[in-house]
Amino acid sequence: MITPLSNKDYMLISAYLDGELTPSQRADVEKHLDSDLQFREALASLKYTKRLLKSLPPVRARRNFTLTPDKVKKTAKPQRFQPAWGMVSAFSTLMLIIVFAVSRFAPSMSAMPAAVAPMAAAEDKTTAMEVQSAEGTPTPMIILWAPQRAYGMGGGGGGGIGGGDASSTGLNNTGVEAPMAAAPNPAAVPTLSATEAPAPETTLDPSTLILGLPDATSRGKIVNAVPTDHFAWLRVITGTTWLMIASGAVALIAALLAIFNRRR
């Protein structure tokens, strides 16, 4: 049974034809040519194919291709970073889509930093208080109500624990006495003596609430619980939103640059 020649055999024969083999390869091919009819036939057919291709008449150009200053000027050199702008734009758009999809379909991930922040703030304050107590300083108990919406708005929501909602339960985790005991009986609030409460500062910080009596000057006044902060909306924007804004801006700028450079 005759084994057909492999691609490697044909490659060796073809390179032998062009004199592009090493001496050892050439000797190997010549040995096969002496003994193998298939090798000889393959060499003959490839040799003839090469001759036919070589016999193709040269085609002369119908005109000269010499350059003129106008021709060279007309085709301005492409911008070096031209291909990069398109890529950057595409990548930024892809990133925007991914971030949007993650924030849309996995909202717990994007909401997480916002929920943790007040807890951490409250924890820090309570820890500071605990340290003070441990040092023996007769510091009165101050109950902090971190969420602003609980102050001066009549409470509401959050399972009826006298202001704040479920998100404010971080206070419970800190070990500070929750207002559960005091809240059901509003009348109990005035029973706290002025001496039990720390001497309130002259200005009321709406971000915290001290259960106790306000000083004489502040008594009876309605404190504006919502601070007039013109940049408050900036703090509402989460990191994910910032990322989406940045990706969108980069995508837009890169796309405009790509289009502008291409037109040039």
Partner 1 sequence: MDEQFLIQSACKGDLDAFNRLVLAYQDMAYNVAYRMLADEDLAEDAVQNAFISAYNNLSSFRGGSFKAWVMRMVTNGCYDELRRQKRRPTTPLEPLNDEDEETDSAPWMASDDPAIETTMEQAELEHALQHCLEQLPPDFRAVVVLVDVQGMDYSEVSASVRTPLGTIKSRLARARLKIRDCLQGFQELLPEQFRLKGEAQE
Residues that bind partner 1 (CB under 8 A): 4, 7, 10-11, 13-15, 18, 20, 41-42, 44-46, 48-50, 52-54, 56-69, 71-72, 75, 77
| Residue 264 Cβ vs partner 1, minimum distance, rounded to whole Å | 15
| Residue 40 Cβ vs partner 1, minimum distance, rounded to whole Å | 12
| Residue 47 Cβ vs partner 1, minimum distance, rounded to whole Å | 10
Nearer to partner 1, 75 or 195 (CB): 75
Nearer to partner 1, 65 or 233 (CB): 65
Nearer to partner 1, 66 or 108 (CB): 66
- d(C-alpha 128, C-alpha 20), whole Å: 84
Nearer to partner 1, 3 or 202 (CB): 3
| Residue 29 Cβ vs partner 1, minimum distance, rounded to whole Å | 12
Nearer to partner 1, 41 or 177 (CB): 41
| Residue 67 Cβ vs partner 1, minimum distance, rounded to whole Å | 6
Nearer to partner 1, 39 or 151 (CB): 39
| Residue 83 Cβ vs partner 1, minimum distance, rounded to whole Å | 15
